[in-house]
Structure 1
Amino acid sequence: MSEDSGDMTGGGQQGKSSAAPVSPLEDDNLLSVILCRLPLVPSSLLRASVVCKPWRSLVSDPRFLRDFRAHHQKPPLLGFFSVDFFGNIEFTTMLGPSSDRIPTEHFSLRIGPTSRVLRSHHGRVLVLNQEGQHFLVWDPVTGELLNVAFPPGVDGKMMLVIDGGVVCAAIDQGHVHGACHSDPFRVVFIGEDRGQIFACAYSSETRAWGNLFSMTSPLPYFVTNSPKCPSTLVRNSICLLIFGERAVILEFDWGRGNLTHIDVPSDAYHFDTFIGGMCQFMVTPADSSGLSFILLSSFSVHVWKRVSDGGSNNATWMLGNTIELRKLLSLKPMMHLSIMGLDEDNYVIFKLTDSVVFTVNLESLQFKKLSTQLPFYPFSFHPFKSFYTPELINDSMCVHRLKA
């Protein structure tokens, strides 16, 4: 009996002397890997931060936030910007639960009735003030607002800015767009003045505009109708549709310093149909650095792809798929469908008559119905994709936000 008791005691002492296994939640490296897989909604890291101080310290660490973005790769669609009749930029959230909804006043800006939003891209918003002859570059997450004057030698009273965009210019290996708050950016635009088309790009690194490119307009008279046929950023180019006796794509490649135009497919454009509002057009990126041209007529989307057989001068349009959205999205015959734009993952954004919004990938035919309806009155909406984590002020504030 005593021998058995001694063996048991010895075994117990031996067990006590060995190191106790570390809980996975106490291993910072393993915990970081686990928390990186939290969903891409604003409340995820906020909820994790109120568990305990070590968790709060971890999710506030810039290195963890960088790993979190790298794991997810693509920022979420937070919502849409629009401008009301009084010149106020309004934000409509697309996030479902109340704990994830971003307060509209957080993403709001007064720009005045003479200004308009051109584009939202890579977490920034570009605003044009034609009368004041300058652009505004706005970061809604940080609130930073920068004024960029028109290029020297450009008469803003004569030259009309047709459209433009703002893009992140970071070239770091592994850089993930969507949290580019401190990274350099470029502002690009296309304008028209007395039969000449102009284009230029601004660099925040040099705080200067590059060369001003120009060419004779391919159409003597044209309209842009940009709210219904929005421009598209394709890699280092901005592509803009103009319409007259024929439809033409204006393409400004600021990387190569090239301004040119491309005729749309000859069997896709009919002036009377376009003017009557019975169709919409859009240019989208295609595989192998090419372009696609899409036509929305009723509930049918026709897709042409630009195919090159050795050089851009020899490229031709080839009609590809025809997609019936009524069947794909289970739409009722009396509904009306319109194109709102293109997000940064090449999902085309469609809006129904009752302001219900869908995103559709025309390649994979994957689609998603968004959770919030949009206001009726604005002419255009601008999708906003960004990583966003509410500021972690203190534990009591975080708990209050989660309960609100």
Structure 2
Amino acid sequence: MDELLEDPFPRLLPELVEEVFFRIPPDEPASLVRASAVCKPWRRILAGLGFRRRYRKFHGTPPVLGLFQHGNCLLRKGSRFVPTSALFLAQPDDRPDWFAMDCRHGRALFARIRNTSVLMVLDPVTGQQRRVPSTPNHPFSFSAAVLCAAQGCDHHGSQGGHFRLAVVTTNQRQGVTSGWLYSSETRVWSELTSLHHPNVRYTNNFGAPSVLLGDALYFNIGCIVECQLGTLRLSMFDKPIDHSGRLMTVEEGRLGFAAVVDVTNLTLWSWETGPVGAIGWAKLRVIDLKTLLPTCEFGLRRWANALVISGVAEGTQVIFVRARVGSYMVHLKSGRVRPVCASSDIKIFPYVSFYIPAMEAACFGQWQ
């Protein structure tokens, strides 16, 4: 009887149980919690480091587990977190004095703007945070990115290790864009080469989202600024259209750009390269958002131009569109749409990561 209570399915081989667990969708971590509560053998499988590694490899692309929303800096709205999964244990509190700047590799980056800027890196799963002093010249308006510093890492489960921060800022009066790179290992800011371009028109680049491709970060601050992390060099090139939009990754890991054109048409471009270098932007596809979003979003004429791309889940084909009553998560491949929040916040930074609660609990000794 004791053996039956210990293992309700004694004839099921652990390898078969693991195969079943692999097929639990990664955006439903609550299912993994329930499975870990069935019996100790199942719990040991889910708490194993090998299972975590194989689970990530089986699913490939991590899911969106929540959203950090960036409010209006002038109105002091700060940031708040909105979970999109059924279970996310360490939900961060709202942070009225901190503004979301970036979210990548299991970490979220915030800035507090007072007399000087202070950056904070947060692990949303464990709640651990680390504050970083601002760059040497303390810019008020800037964009920043966070990324894992581990070499050869798949970045799907890299919480707790060293990280890097990149900051770019533009002095519009002088026509100069500057940048810095921070290492949590050395705790030193390294200055990047500056760009001089007096004739470029800029937008407010506070908290402009970034895209990481290989060893380069890309920021959209009116033009597109490329930050080469290895050589510490900055360069720039034009957007495909003089329109508000978002950088993203498209097929085959190329740099892409998305914008809502002609009221409801979501247009996607990709940056093409040839044997001798860059060729330019090529239009990929056009999606009519009227066929995807609820009809109530288009009922009033005065809201005709209210569709804005408010966020992109990096490395996925998921974008976020802000409409007149809230924001929607749009899966570009499947065409699936789901409402995620009733908010007018200007930017959304999706938290994209694998989260195996049984594994996290084991790491912190909760199963002992």
Same fold (TM over 0.5): yes
1:124 Cα deviation after fit = 0.7
- Structure 2: distance between partners of 1:29 and 1:81: 37
Counterparts of 1:308-327 in structure 2 under 5 Å?
Answer: 308-312=273-277, 315-327=279-291
Which residue of 47, 52, 56 maps to 1:69? 56
Gaps of 5+ in 2: 1-8
In 1, Cα distance between equivalents of 2:284 and 2:19: 43
Q: Note if contact 1:24-1:30 (Cα within 8 Å) is conserved in structure 2.
A: no
> Cα gap change, 1:281/1:137 in structure 2, threshold over 3 Å: closer, same or farther?
same
Whole-angstrom CA distance in 2 between matches of 1:45 and 1:225: 40
1:290-309 matches, cutoff 5 A: 290-297=254-261, 298-309=263-274
Match of residue 18 from structure 1: none
| Distance change in 2, residues 1:234/1:356 (3 Å) | same
Instruction: Report how many residues are paired.
Output: 339
Q: State how far apart, in whole Å, the 1-side matches of 2:253 and 2:62 are.
A: 22
CA distances 1:108-167 after superposition (whole Å, capped 9, x unpaired): 25362xx3110111211111234333311111111111112234xx221xx344211111
The answer to whether the aligner puts 1:263 opposite 2:238 as a matched pair is: yes
Match of 2:4 in 1: none
What's the secondary structure of 1:66's corresponding residue?
A: helix
Aligned to 1:146: 130
Q: Tell which structure's C-alpha radius of gyration is larger.
A: 1
Distance apart, 1:325 and its partner CA: 2.1
For residues 307 and 70 of structure 1, the distance between their equivalents in structure 2, rounded to whole angstroms, comes to 29
Verify the 8 A CA contact 1:46 1:392 in the aligned structure 2: no
Corresponding position of 1:369: 337
Partner of 2:5: none
The one-letter amino acid paired with 1:263 is D
For 1:382 and 1:49, locate their aligned partners in 2 and report how far apart those are by CA, in whole Å: 30
Q: How has the CA–CA distance of structure 1 residues 308 and 381 changed in structure 2, closer, same or farther, with 3 Å as cutoff?
A: closer
**Could you tell me which amino acid in structure 2 is paired with residue 239 of structure 1?**
Y
Give the gaps of 5 or more residues in structure 1: 1-21, 275-279, 399-404
The 3-state SS of whatever aligns with 1:110 is coil
2:3 counterpart residue number: none
On the 8 A contact 1:234/1:284 being kept in 2, the answer is: no
Matches within 5 A, 1:133-172: 133-151=117-135, 154-156=136-138, 159-172=139-152
Structure 1's 308 and 343: CA in aligned 2 closer, same or farther, altered over 3 A? same
Map 1:378-389 onto structure 2 (within 5 A).
378-389=345-356
Provide runs of 4+ in structure 1 moved above 6 Å.
none
Instruction: Please say if residues 118 and 131 of structure 2, whose CA atoms lie closer than 8 Å, have aligned partners that are also in contact.
Output: yes
Q: Percentage identity across aligned positions?
A: 25
**Contact 1:358–1:367 (8 Å) recurs in 2:** no
1:208 and 2:191 equivalent? Answer: no
Assess if the C-alpha contact under 8 Å between 2:195 and 2:234 holds in 1. Answer: yes
In the alignment, is the contact (CA less than 8 A) between 2:326 and 2:344 conserved in 1?
A: no
What secondary structure does 2:157 align onto? coil
Letter in 2 for 1:102: F
Q: Cα–Cα, structure 1 residues 24 and 187, in superposed 2: closer, same or farther, change >3 Å? A: farther
Once residues 324 and 92 of structure 2 are traced to their aligned partners in structure 1, the CA distance between those partners, rounded to angstroms, is 26
RMSD: 3.0
Shift of 1:373: 3.7
Distance verdict in 2 for CA 1:36–1:51, change over 3 Å: same
Conserved in 1, the CA contact under 8 Å of 2:150 and 2:161?
yes
Matched, 1:125 2:108: yes
Native 8 Å contact 1:338 1:351 kept in 2:
yes
Gap change, CA 1:68 and 1:354, over 3 Å in 2: same
SS in 1 for 2:17: helix
Please tell me whether residue 357 in structure 1 is matched to residue 328 in structure 2: yes
Q: Deviations over 1:168-207 (max 9, x none)?
A: 23333xx443322123321111112443211122222333
Determine if the alignment matches structure 1 residue 238 to structure 2 residue 228.
no
Equivalent residues of 2:142, 2:205 under 8 A apart? no
Aligned to 1:249: 224
**Could you tell me whether the CA contact under 8 Å between 2:329 and 2:340 is conserved in 1?**
no
Q: Answer yes or no: is the 8 Å Cα contact 2:327–2:342 preserved in 1.
A: no
CA gap of 1:162–1:64, structure 2 versus 1, over 3 A, is same
TM-score normalized by the length of structure 2: 0.80
- Whole-angstrom CA distance in 1 between matches of 2:94 and 2:163: 20
**1:53 aligns to what?**
40
